[in-house]
Amino acid sequence: MEEKKYEVATLQEYGYKDYHVMQTIFKIFGRILVALIVFMLYFSIFIIFLQSINSSKSVTSFGHVTFKWYLEMFSNRQMRLAIQHTLIISISATLLSTVLGTIIAVGINSLEKKKKQRILLLNNIPLLNADIVTGISLMLVFSCLLPIFPYLFGWKTLLIAHMFFTLPYVILSVLPKLREIDPNLLDAALDLGVKPRRALWKVIVPAVKAGIFSGALLAFTMSFDDFVVSYYTTGNGFDNLSIWIYGSIGRNSLTPAVYSFSTMITLITFLFLVIVHLFQSKMVKKNGKK
């Protein structure tokens, strides 16, 4: 066969301008901007890190690198208590919200459309409401209960408050996954004589694992980081880390140990995520080879 020479078609002859160069510039500019923004998101964490290894107690001057604050973290009694409280509340609120939220999501998912929409509308309130309004609202409810339960304010109110604003996150993470479940799957299970409660654990929960996990992650993040709601709903003597920090900032008595704690948490989380990620990609590779 004879080799025929062909011309290369150009954009111009089809009435388009070649904006190749512009595109490249835009792409590079975009990368720089994204890098800058991510840098800004992490900037404050970087400063916290610097302050945590600063030998000087002052935040305006850098002495030399030290790790003494990491040790003091454990010896400062008030701070240790605050951390304890934070962890107790966050972990128990996350656990309770995750379990209850999943069950509630299953319930919501099986409702008729109208009822479902009404509950979801209400469910959006804790999610979107201003922290200060949520905090005040909960405080008012608890205050109304005071005549019946005089010693209510404290860990009980804090736990309820945290569950109040973490539940919607779990529910909204689980619901879309529930919608994706093949309805026949559940029917099949029930048809085989599995009791609804058992089917919930054996069929539904495994199918929505991913939603439950991301819901729990969000719930913990929100709970761990919360200040305003906790500020209004806790009682005397039960300060969590946020409230303790707020007080310390107000008194200008913030110990650098708290920077160490924060840095440590960031590093642990980071490590945890890297491990999860590596584990995930390993799983993907394994599955891909099959």
Partner 1 sequence: MNDSYKKLAKPYEIWLYIFALFPALVMFALIFLDTEGINLSEASLTFGNFSQLTESSTIIAFVNSLKFAFLSTLICAILGYFVAYRLFRSKFKNKFLILTILILPMWSNILLRIEALGNVMQPNNIITDILSKIGIHIGIDIKGTSVAVLIGLVFTYLPFMILPIYTALEKIDPSLEEASLDLGVTHLKTFWKVIFPLSIKGIVTGSIMVFLPCLSGFAIPEILGSGNIVLIGNVIDQFFRNMNYNIGALLALLILILILGAIFLVQKVDKEGETLL
Partner 2 sequence: MGKVIIELQDIVKKFDGQVIVDHLNLTIYENEFLTLLGPSGCGKTTTLRMIAGFEKPDEGNVIINGKIFNNLPAYARPINTVFQKYALFPHLNVLDNVAFGLRNRSFKFLLSFFNEEELKKEIIQEKEQKGQNNKKITKLDLHKKINEKIIEEAKKSIELVKLSGFENRKIDQMSGGQQQRIALARAIVNRPQILLLDEPLSALDLKLRENMQYELKEIQRKLGITFIFVTHDQQEAMTMSDRIVVMKDGTIQQLGTPKNIYNEPQNRFVATFIGESNIIRGTYLEKNKISFMDAIFDCMGYTFNDNEPVDVVIRPEDFDIIPKENAKLTGTVTSCIFRGVFYEICADVHEMEFVIHAYEEIEVGKVIGLNVDPYEISLMKVNENE
Site for partner 1 in 250-289 (CB under 8 A): 254, 258-259, 262, 265-266, 269-270, 273, 276-277, 280
Contact predicate 55/63, CB 8 Å:
yes
Given the complex with partner 1, which of 238 and 262 has the nearer CB atom? 262
Q: What 3-state DSSP class applies to 65?
A: strand
**CA–CA separation, 99 vs 92, rounded Å?**
11
Q: Measured between alpha carbons, how far apart are the two ends of the chain, in Å?
A: 43
**CA–CA separation, 143 vs 159, rounded Å?**
16
Q: Which of 167, 181, 148, 2 is nearest to 99 (CA)?
A: 167
Contact segment (CB under 8 A) with partner 1 among 1-9, 91-99, 151-159, 217-225 equals: 217-225
Residue 47 near which of partner 1, partner 2, none (CB within 5-8 Å, type-dependent): partner 1
164 contacts partner 1 (rule: CB under 8 A): yes
7 contacts partner 2 (rule: CB under 8 A): yes
192 contacts partner 1 (rule: CB under 8 A): no
25 contacts partner 2 (rule: CB under 8 A): no
Given the complex with partner 2, which of 11 and 36 has the nearer CB atom? 11
Here's the x/- map for partner 1, 49-68, by CB under 8 A: it reads as -xx--x----xxxx------
6 contacts partner 2 (rule: CB under 8 A): yes
**CA–CA separation, 187 vs 43, rounded Å?**
52
**CA–CA separation, 252 vs 246, rounded Å?**
10
98-157 positions binding partner 1, by CB under 8 A: 100, 103-104, 106-111, 117, 119-133, 136-138, 140-141, 143-144
Contact predicate 248/255, CB 8 Å:
yes
**CA–CA separation, 182 vs 112, rounded Å?**
17
**CA–CA separation, 181 vs 199, rounded Å?**
13
212 contacts partner 1 (rule: CB under 8 A): no
In what helix (H) or strand (E) does residue 196 lie, and over which residues does it extend? Answer: helix 196-199
Given the complex with partner 2, which of 16 and 151 has the nearer CB atom? 16
Contacts 24+ apart (CB under 8 A), 57-66: 57/255, 57/256
Q: Which pair of structure tokens corresponds to residue 226?
A: 């919360």
Q: Which pair of structure tokens corresponds to residue 59?
A: 């935040």
Helical packing angle, 20-52 and 257-289, nearest 10°: 130
Q: Which of 2, 8, 112, 144 binds partner 2 (CB under 8 A)?
A: 8
68-97 positions binding partner 1, by CB under 8 A: none
Q: What minimum distance in Å lies between the beta carbon of 13 and partner 2?
A: 8
33 contacts partner 1 (rule: CB under 8 A): yes
Contact segment (CB under 8 A) with partner 2 among 13-21, 69-77, 90-98, 149-157 equals: 13-21
Contact segment (CB under 8 A) with partner 2 among 14-22, 63-71, 95-103, 225-233 equals: 14-22
13 DSSP assignment = G
How many amino acids of this chain bind partner 2 (CB under 8 A)? Answer: 9
16 contacts partner 2 (rule: CB under 8 A): yes
Question: For binding to partner 2 (CB under 8 A), which residues are involved?
Answer: 6-11, 14-16
